[in-house]
Amino acid sequence: MAATGRPSLFLDACRRRPTPRPPVWFMRQAGRYMKDYRDLRAKHSILELAKTPELACAVTLQPVRRFGFDAAILFSDILLPLEPMGARLRFAPAPIIDNPVRSARDAARLRPCAPREDLSRVLKAVSLLRRELGQTPLIGFVGAPFTLASYLIEGGPSKDFVRTKAFMNAEPAAWAGLMRRLAKMGADYLTAQVEAGCQAVQIFDSWAGALSPAQYRGKVLPYSRALVAGAQKSGAPIIHFGTGTAGFLRDFASAGSDAVGVDWRVDLAQAFKTCRGQAVQGNLDPAVLAGPLPALKKAAAEILRTGRGRRGFIFNLGHGVLPQTPEANVLAAVELVRSAGRP
Amino acid sequence: MAATGRPSLFLDACRRRPTPRPPVWFMRQAGRYMKDYRDLRAKHSILELAKTPELACAVTLQPVRRFGFDAAILFSDILLPLEPMGARLRFAPAPIIDNPVRSARDAARLRPCAPREDLSRVLKAVSLLRRELGQTPLIGFVGAPFTLASYLIEGGPSKDFVRTKAFMNAEPAAWAGLMRRLAKMGADYLTAQVEAGCQAVQIFDSWAGALSPAQYRGKVLPYSRALVAGAQKSGAPIIHFGTGTAGFLRDFASAGSDAVGVDWRVDLAQAFKTCRGQAVQGNLDPAVLAGPLPALKKAAAEILRTGRGRRGFIFNLGHGVLPQTPEANVLAAVELVRSAGRP
């Protein structure tokens, strides 16, 4: 089992089946920290990479082949489905939406997204990857309703989310409508990705940490729950990831995913307690991954120690790989996790 | 007591004595959201305002006189003590340190700070304010060792704190030395502020939320504890504030302050449980304060409901007032808290 088990380690862990060691993959494992990626980016924009099936496929494969991750995650961007909905998206280099949603009328003007037509190039990349990856599972993904709504309303990254929170409070019906549509889009899109060949999916609520527990519970959780329920029909395991969720992890977990992704601000042992019955994914600090090797090894070993003997543990970072991360550090971390299964 | 109690409401709450209603003050209550402040800023830089006793005094008084806050907080900046230590500080408009600490040698070159000489203009502002404020208590403050060390090392605000965490891990002895010196400076500076006329002090660990529970416990808490212990000799109550502390609030509280300041990401009822025996300050979301009035009133009422009947509750925001906040919203929030004491 230990020798031939690798291809299903990740899926087994998602389903809380026993595994000889935890599987390992990293958010943003394909990205600027890799020379191979920078070489491609010198010739193509992010949107070109994401929308050209052969390029998205090549970028997705780079870290899997180089570092031996136990799962591939499709190279794409959570904002892609917002384009067919009507958002004018560009990267400069941070994502900017030139026609943000600032009123109930703006929100009403958004079009539905039909992933099979509107995102066919992404789905094409998935089917190419399915052939290339062999036994290595492929993870599809979508942005959670809150994180996508924030981008639509703020028009780009934000620090304080003042506009998003004002919209949520001043236009409760429009907010509910927007969140429902984003949840529906998310479920449809994840289902289409699974049908195209993804064996697991992750929901990114990267900005959930801007919220209070009450805001999360009242204005966000119902729609994340609807997204999870909708995507569950695909049969693929669902990982629900958020940063800054320490204050409302029980609510976050109650969205009902198979696995819960936590960041380094959450005590991992506490996360296992809070998310009883669900797999847990996390939670190495990406800044530690980018830093000196001895501290990286110590932190990774501590995470492995906490996860040891638990069903449903997936080794990952607490957020994406930082661009300044040395490739040697990624290799060292992956090696450490892989060696955890050896006698 | 209810009628004449107002002047000591804040200090009583810090000491967990019963109060007829919670006291209210806001972090960054003097600032850009006020027209009076913007008028002064049009003529003077931030550093001029902070270093000219009469101006610092005038700015500090503006919100107290306009909104009737139960405490004044000295207008200053947490980075001021870093200048006499050797940091070349400017605001552009975010704070920038042109000679960041990037090595153990850089750290060793920092000079000790003697607050009575090096920060005499700040202390002069405190004594001016003591006379102007009458019965309204004045809060002095200092940056916590971690937040100050981060500024010194990053050279300005940061998102990922990669340099700070690398320094902390690669140079453990230099990190310990730097943190010890910042804790010593903090205790000396808070003591000098109390001697000059402050009746309470707040320690700002605004960036603590970048840390994992283990990082906080191992690399930060001992020095925050030393700072609290050193400042306690002044006899003034100490508020220890941090954002993003939900994942390690018990450790954060164990630094030993009289009151613990939490942000909106922490469930307030949970904070009272976790910080048993300490006063709790918080935790309205500044984005909600800046937003539509009905939602602001609802959120403030919920906080008041949670705090009702508890000793040692101080109504505040979870972080500073945002520049886009309407003055009318601040007035409404303060009025709501004040009316909580009326029969």
pLDDT given for residue B36 in this prediction: 97
Structural domain count of chain B: 1
Task: Provide the residue range defining the domain that includes B172.
Answer: 9-339
pLDDT tens profile A29-65? 999 999 999 999 999 999 999 999 999 999 999 999 9
pLDDT tens profile A149-185? 999 999 998 999 999 999 999 999 999 999 999 999 9
Q: Which residues of A touch B266 (CB under 8 A)?
A: 213, 247
Q: Which residues of B touch A283 (CB under 8 A)?
A: 212
- Per the annotation, the verdict on B28 as an active-site residue is yes
Type of residue at A292: P
Query: For residue A2, is it within any domain?
Result: no
**Cβ pair B160:A286 closer than 8 A:** yes
Which of B169, B264, B322 is the closest to A212 by Cβ? B264
Give the integer Cα–Cα distance in Å for B47 and B89: 9
Give the integer Cα–Cα distance in Å for B75 and B95: 16
pLDDT given for residue B93 in this prediction: 87
Give the integer Cα–Cα distance in Å for B24 and B71: 7
**Cβ pair B246:A265 closer than 8 A:** yes
Give the integer Cα–Cα distance in Å for B96 and B277: 39
Q: How far are the Cα atoms of A13, A20, A310, A336, B245 from residue A1, in angstroms, in the given order?
A: 14, 8, 17, 19, 42
Query: For residue A1, is it within any domain?
Result: no
Which of A161, A247, A265 is the closest to B267 by Cβ? A247
- Per the annotation, the verdict on B77 as an active-site residue is yes
For residue A216, give the chain B residue with the closest CA: B265
Query: For residue B3, is it within any domain?
Result: no
Q: Which residues of B touch A160 (CB under 8 A)?
A: 286-287, 290, 322
Instruction: Spell out which chain B residues touch chain A, with contact meaning CB-CB distance below 8 angstroms.
Output: 160-162, 165-166, 169-170, 209-215, 244, 246-248, 264-267, 270, 283, 285-288, 290-292, 294-295, 299, 302, 318, 322, 324
pLDDT tens profile B133-161? 999 999 999 999 999 999 999 999 899 99
CA of A74 vs chain B CAs: smallest distance (Å):
24
- Per the annotation, the verdict on B15 as an active-site residue is no
* Series of mean pLDDT values for 10-residue runs along chain A (343 residues): 56 97 98 97 96 98 98 98 97 94 97 97 98 96 98 95 97 98 98 98 97 98 98 98 98 98 98 98 98 97 96 98 98 97 72
Query: For residue A3, is it within any domain?
Result: no
pLDDT given for residue B7 in this prediction: 52
**Cβ pair B322:A170 closer than 8 A:** no
pLDDT given for residue A7 in this prediction: 52
Please name which of A144, A340, A117, A116 lies closest in space to residue A230, comparing C-alpha atoms. Answer: A144
Which candidate in A12, A16, A37, A77 is catalytic?
Answer: A77
Cβ atoms B206, B147 nearer than 8 A: yes
- CATH code, domain carrying B276: 3.20.20.210
CA of A96 vs chain B CAs: smallest distance (Å):
19
Q: Which residues of B touch A214 (CB under 8 A)?
A: 299, 302
Query: For residue B184, is it within any domain?
Result: yes
pLDDT given for residue A2 in this prediction: 35
Give the integer Cα–Cα distance in Å for B88 and B107: 14
pLDDT given for residue A341 in this prediction: 75
Q: Give the strand pairing for B200-205 and B238-242.
A: parallel
Q: Which residues of A touch B294 (CB under 8 A)?
A: 169
- Which single residue is written with the structure tokens 């290799």? A331
Angle between helix A172-196 and helix A120-133 axes, rounded to 10 deg? 40
In tens digits, what is the pLDDT along chain B, a chain of 343 residues? 333 434 589 999 999 999 999 999 999 999 999 999 999 999 999 999 999 999 999 999 999 999 999 999 999 999 999 999 999 999 998 999 999 999 999 999 999 999 999 999 999 999 999 999 999 999 999 999 999 999 999 999 899 999 999 999 999 999 999 999 999 999 999 999 999 999 999 999 999 999 999 999 999 999 999 999 999 999 999 999 999 999 999 999 999 999 999 999 999 999 999 999 999 999 999 999 999 999 999 999 999 999 999 999 999 999 999 999 999 999 999 999 999 977 6
**Cβ pair B162:A266 closer than 8 A:** no
Cβ atoms A300, A244 nearer than 8 A: no
Query: For residue B325, is it within any domain?
Result: yes
Q: How big is the A-B interface in CB pairs under 8 Å?
A: 104
pLDDT given for residue A70 in this prediction: 97
- Per the annotation, the verdict on A102 as an active-site residue is no
Which of B161, B291, B302 is the closest to A165 by Cβ? B291
- Please list the alpha-helical segments (H only) found in A35-114: 35-41, 46-51, 53-67, 82-85, 104-109
pLDDT given for residue B342 in this prediction: 75
Query: For residue B199, is it within any domain?
Result: yes
Cβ atoms B259, B237 nearer than 8 A: yes
How is residue B322 annotated by DSSP?
A: P
CA of B206 vs chain A CAs: smallest distance (Å):
14
- Per the annotation, the verdict on A258 as an active-site residue is no
Which candidate in B6, B16, B21, B28 is catalytic?
Answer: B28
Q: Which residues of A touch B322 (CB under 8 A)?
A: 160, 162
**Cβ pair B291:A267 closer than 8 A:** no
pLDDT given for residue A144 in this prediction: 98
Which candidate in B33, B37, B151, B189 is catalytic?
Answer: B151
pLDDT given for residue A5 in this prediction: 37
Query: For residue B2, is it within any domain?
Result: no
CA of B324 vs chain A CAs: smallest distance (Å):
9
